[in-house]
Structure formats: structure tokens, C-alpha cells
Amino acid sequence: MSSTDAQPRYRELGLTDHEYELIVTGLGREPGDVELAMLSLMWSEHCAYKHSKKLLSRLPTTGRHVLVGPGENAGAVDVGDGMAIAFKVESHNHPSAVEPFQGAATGVGGILRDIFAVGARPIAVLDSLRFGEVATSQRSRYLLEHAVAGIGHYGNSIGVPTIGGEIYFEPSYEQNCLINAMAVGLAPHARLTSAAAAGPGNLLILFGALTGRDGIGGASVLASAELTDADDSKRPTVQIGDPFAEKKLLECSLELLDAGLLASLQDLGAAGLTSSASEMASKGDVGLDLDVGKVPLREADMEPFEIMVSESQERMLCVVEPHLADQVLAVCEKWEVTATVIGKVTDTHSFRVFKNGELVGELPVPLLVDDCPLYDLEPEAPATTLYVGGEQQVATDADPATTLRALLQSANIASRRVVFEQYDPVVQSRTVCRPEQADAAVLALPVLAAGTGAGGAPIPGIAVSIDGNGRRVAVDPRAGAAEVVYECAANLACTGAEPLGLTNCLNFGNPEKPHVAWQLSEAIDGLAQACRDLDVPVVGGNVSLYNESPDGPILPTPVIGMVGRLPDVRRAGRIGFANPGDRIALVGSFNPSRDGSELAKLHGSAPAGALPDKDVSAIRAAHDRVRQGVRDREFSSAHDIAEGGILVAIAECCIAGGVGAIINLPAGLDPFGEDLGTAFIVSGPTEGLDGLTIIGAVGGRELNVQGLLNVPLSELADLHAAGLSTLLS
């Protein structure tokens, strides 16, 4: 391919002139068609993290519970008794904006493969979703309904419970919805496996679905550039998922690992065979020979470059010692999974691609995987807010009762029951706390039916939460991102869980623009500091950039998924007030502000201002007090104060418990200001609340806040239940 012919092509594939020059220099020649396709994928933003990798090095990644850190398909932490929890969150934003059902469905399928690729059985899915205003946008309603249907279709069909998540609605997500999926898996330590290829002479076996043209260009084009008004043309690049095929693939993979038949295992996701094989070679410091003529195809006339970059779903690649190959193929046949030897490991440190024995491409593994240039960003704080306010939905001088009603039925606070009822939260029989029962989902370990806990012995478990708040991060990226970590840990504390590790998905606009670069850099620094504050390491994650339309970038949206351990799930904390007569207390140093709050949004204000200063020692003390109070059963309920402020939190406790409360707020405390991750509402007998600020008592059929409001509980519950379902009807 001549330079004249190649330049337009490499630009179409997302490579810059400078990057192409580096490739030519590294090869000593111009790349061929197959090589250019492979390099464009591996040097894309989606695969190379070329605008974020330097920043990510600031995050703390080690800790006493960490078994597998960043760099593998998923991170893993020790939960005791020789067992590990593997978990990760990833995005499928751009594909879902083009085709929401398949984009969201294959996002779930991809994150599940990351979990069983490290040897863990998937036991839970959570999702973090962002859309435009469904009240005014038919497009956003369409995206929401079809993305939710896709998530439910894949998770319900494969038999993995969807146990939690979050949904927010803001104008900046109108063209760029966010679909972040988190998966959690369980494995014995001994079954945890690496993706690193090893042993020259060992065989490469591809197993799973047939390879087709779906997903071609997804990583290099669709996920590594801004969306434009012409994106209907990208619809064919969205992958198509089959959860029933993935179920067989899952069971086959775990049986192969249990039998000790695999030297390494990798899933095929973005960039398909190119990324999976080259990353295996890079991690193992080896070379690979691969013959695309041996790859089982769904479409017989596929070109070699198409086979190498196809993102067809439900496929795995493994390295196998030659004498074990027949056993591997036999296990695959048992599970009705297509399996084929397509290559071998070499000591050449080159990735050679053949078609029926004829060489069609050869690239040095380091050039393909490691030599993509990493860019220094040029961050610059914007002079004014990048975002505008919306229509005023409640008057700034409205009385407290009117304001509380408006908040409870607002899209960002109202019950999500209309959404999560489309998911199966209890399949596999591990689920202890379902959505809206507790601030974090709770799963028993091992399965409850196994008899653990007989005779009153504790039943260990985990709590899992996923959180993000783009409005607060837009106000102050550093402080707002730190708040997300504090908030996620606060959710775990309310169930009695101690954090073990976290994963993140960093959703931002175009990092080549100074104001977005500033948001990203500041947010990562905030995440890093909060992780150090709470001693919670980052074990893996994902970066999704270029979430931007002609109207501007999305709100900066770092999403955090966190896993914690409970000594006994039977003592897991719940949101709802439980016992009339219990006292209600405020825990923590609460310093609320309305800047960036949900009430500010209802007032029509843009996300701007300043977030409250944080006392880290006070945050840790509050989290510890709530966690221990839940474990010791001093508290009948526990709920963190989050969006909407303290009155919304109290109302949610009343609604969840089906009982009212009489409240006397501390003088001067803003009832609707926010200070996320710092404070809690707990209830319990007086003797268990020593040293806490008592603000009321449980009882009655209304929420009575002295001097502010007195509203029937039934009215609050109806408003909260109907808010989102009314918008979607």
C-alpha cells in the first residue's frame, strides 16, 4: 500500500499523521492492510488509553486484600476462606447511543466475560446509566427503554442477577447516553488465572461463537471519537449478543480451568482477535502465529483484516499445551461450543498473521501493544461553567413541603422500581438485599442453601455499590470525584460492610480540549486522594472519553464500583425505619450546600458554585460508627444522606419502612443541601445511640418536621413511586 493510498485510510481509522509516521519508523516500512487495521485498533483511545494512561498511574492500586490488580481482565480481592471476589466496571456508551438494545446487552456480555476470563463465576451485575431528560425528550426515553431491555435480556437469560445500580437524567447526556456495567464474580484463589500467554510451542485455541462482521471498527472509530449527527451510519458497528451462547461459554471455560487444562485465558471484546492475542503475547513476553484461515466464520467471504478486527461476541482465546489439546476440544464439544486450534505461541516476539499458511501480516508485539504514544494533556480550567441550567420546576421560595414533594417525584430521586423490576435480582439464591431495601446490594457467600450458618453461625457475605454524580463533579471535579468514593463507601457502611477495593469507569468528553483535560486530571487526583483517605485500592477499571456532541461534553462522570465484606449477612443494615418508638439520630459531620444539588437543578440552576470542605477524619469516624452499629445491631436502620439532602433521606427511610417520623432538625441546618458521603440517618433504641445527635423518633403515619412541614406518609410514598413511572408512561 503506497503512502498516497494509505494516508486517507489511516486517518479514517483514527490514526494521526504523527502516529502513522511512528508506525512506519517502527516497522521500517509502510504497513499492509491487515497490519494497518490491527495497529489502528491497538493504537486507538479505547485500547491504548493514550490520553489517560499517565494520569491513571496516580491511582493507588495495592492493598492487603488485593489478589489481582490492574492489568488483567478483572481485579480480585480476598474475602476469606480461600475465596476471591473478582469485579470490574466498563462502558458501552457509544454503541448504546447508536443501538441501545444491543449496545447495552453486549456491554453486559462483555463485562461478564471479563469476570470468568480470570476464573470467577459471575454472581451479580450492576449498572450505572445516564440519559437526557426523559420528560421532554423522546430520544432519551427511547434510549432508556431499549437499554434497560437489553440489560434485562442478557442478564436474565444468562442467569446472573442484576442486584443494583443507578440512573440519572441530565441534558448533557441527550446525545451521549452512558451505559456502564459492573460484574462481580466468585472464585477459589487457586482458580484465578492470567491472560499472559506462555510456553513457545503451546497452542492457541479459539472457542465460542462464529466470527462475523458485527462490531468491525467499534473500538477504533465508534468508541474513540465524538459522536456526530451522521451516526446512523455507525449502526452496523454495534455488536450482537447471544446470552444463551455465553452461558455455555461460561460453563465451558470454568470446567476447563477447574480441570487445569489451560495455561492462560482471554476474552475477545473490543478489537477482537487483535487485542486479545496481542495483549496475551505482550503480558507473556512471547510471540504468536495465528492463521485466520482456521477461524470458524459466520460469513465465508471475510477478508483477513475483517477476521482480525471483528468484535463478534461470546468468544474466548486460550493457550494450551499440545498434549492437552484433545481434552480441551472434548470439553468444548461437551458444552456444544465450537473450538479450533488457530495458532501457536512462539519465541519471536512478533505477531504473525497467516491465511491458510500464507503470511498476510507481521508486527512486532511491542510496537503493536506498547509503543503507542502517550500524550500529555493541556488542562485549563474554564473561565465559566460549561453547562447551562434547565427549566425551573419548583419556585425558589416554595415552602418546605412543596419542595420535598417536588424532590421525591423528580427523575433523579424517584423510585427506580419501574426499571429494576425488569431485572431478576434473586437468581442464584445469593441475594440478601434487593434494590431499594438497602444502600448497597448484599450477597451471601457461599449460597444460602448450602447450609452455612446452621446453628446460628455467621453467614459471611459481600456488599456491592455503584455510584457517580456528574452534577457535583461538574461543580468541582476534584472534590466531586472524591465525594463519589466517600458516597460509595458510605453505602457499604450502611449495610455493615468494610470496603475491600474499588473499580472505576471514567466517562468524560474530548480530552484534547483543555477544559475536558482539566476535568479529567482533577477528577483522577480527587479519586486518588479519596482512595488514600479511606485505604481503598483501585483494582481495575475503564476510561470512556470523547463522550461529546456538537452541543458540548457530557457532565464529567467518574463512576465508582466498590465491594466490601460483611461478617454476617443476617445483620445487614436496611434503609427503612423498622420499629415505632426507635429514636432517630444524625451521624457524621454534615456541612450541606445547595451548589450542584438536586434542588438547584429543580430551581433551573446550572451545576456551579463550590462543594463543602471535607473533614476526612470525621468521614472515617462516621463510616466506622455506622458500620459497627449495624453489625452490633445497635441500629435498626441506616441510610446515608445523599441527593436531596437530609429531609429526602428521612422521607426515604419512612417510605421504605412504611412508618412515619417526628423530626426536630438542628437549628440552622439546611434541609435540602447536600454533602455526599459524610453523614447518615440511623434509628434504634436510645441505648444504642450514645454520643449521637438525636433528631427525632419513629412512629405515626406522617412525616412531621417541626416548624417546617407535616405530610402524610401515603402521599410521600405515592409521589416517590409514581415519579419515574409517570415520565415513562
> Residue 387: pLDDT above 50?
yes
Helices then strands, counting H and E runs in the chain, come out as 22, 28
Encode pLDDT of 32-83 as tens digits.
999 999 999 999 988 999 999 999 999 999 999 999 999 999 999 999 999 9
Q: Give the pLDDT of residue 237.
A: 59
Tell me the domain boundaries of the chain: 1-50+193-372
Mean pLDDT of 417-428: 94
What whole-number distance in Å separates Cα of residue 435 and Cα of residue 505? 21
Among 63-77, 449-463, 621-635, 646-660, the range scoring the smallest mean pLDDT is 449-463
Q: How confident is the model at residue 423 (pLDDT cuts 50, 70, 90)?
A: very high
Helices (H), 287-372: 304-309, 325-334, 365-369
Beta-carbon-side half-sphere exposure of residue 269 (alpha carbons within 13 Å)? 23
Q: Give the pLDDT of residue 217.
A: 62
Q: Give the pLDDT of residue 450.
A: 46
Mean pLDDT of 558-562: 98
Query: What cell does 295 get?
Result: 477461524
Nearest to 593 by CA among 607, 573, 581: 607
Mean pLDDT of 141-145: 95
What whole-number distance in Å separates Cα of residue 527 and Cα of residue 533? 10
Mean pLDDT of 162-175: 95
Q: Give the pLDDT of residue 729.
A: 72
Mean pLDDT of 466-480: 97
- Of all residues in the chain, the percent with pLDDT exceeding 70 is 95
Residues 293, 296, 299, 302, CA torsion sign: negative
> Residue 226: pLDDT above 90?
no
Residue 57 and residue 147 in contact, taking contact as beta carbons nearer than 8 Å? no
> Residue 6: pLDDT above 50?
no
Residues 330, 331, 333, 334, CA torsion sign: positive
What whole-number distance in Å separates Cα of residue 75 and Cα of residue 64? 14
Q: Give the pLDDT of residue 240.
A: 83
Residues 582, 622, 679, 76, CA torsion sign: negative
> Residue 231: pLDDT above 50?
no
> Residue 234: pLDDT above 60?
no
Query: What cell does 638 get?
Result: 441506616
pTM as predicted: 0.94
- Across the chain, mean pLDDT equals 93
Q: Which residues of 55-159 form beta strands (DSSP E)? A: 66-68, 75-80, 83-91, 121-131
Mean pLDDT of 80-89: 96
What whole-number distance in Å separates Cα of residue 546 and Cα of residue 270? 16
Encode pLDDT of 642-665 as tens digits.
999 999 999 999 999 999 999 999
* Catalytic residue set: 46, 92
Among 32-46, 216-230, 465-479, the range scoring the smallest mean pLDDT is 216-230
**Rounded to 5 degrees, what angle do the CA atoms 697, 586, 717 make?**
55
**CA distances, 690 to each of 76, 626, 629 (Å):** 38, 12, 11
Mean pLDDT of 709-716: 97
Q: Give the pLDDT of residue 724.
A: 87
Q: How confident is the model at residue 239 (pLDDT cuts 50, 70, 90)?
A: confident
Cis peptide before 373 (omega within 30 of 0): no
CATH fold group of domain 1-50+193-372: Phosphoribosyl-aminoimidazole Synthetase; Chain A, domain 2 (3.90.650)
The conformation of residue 84, written as its DSSP 8-state character, comes to E
Q: Give the pLDDT of residue 727.
A: 81
The DSSP element (H or E) to which 164 belongs, if any, is: strand 162-169
Other residues' Cβ atoms within 10 Å of the Cβ of residue 80: 11
Residues 572, 573, 579, 585, CA torsion sign: positive
Residue 94 and residue 44 in contact, taking contact as beta carbons nearer than 8 Å? no
What whole-number distance in Å separates Cα of residue 581 and Cα of residue 700? 10
Mean pLDDT of 480-491: 98
Q: Give the pLDDT of residue 233.
A: 47
Mean pLDDT of 83-87: 97
**CA distances, 332 to each of 318, 326, 344 (Å):** 12, 10, 19
Q: How confident is the model at residue 532 (pLDDT cuts 50, 70, 90)?
A: very high
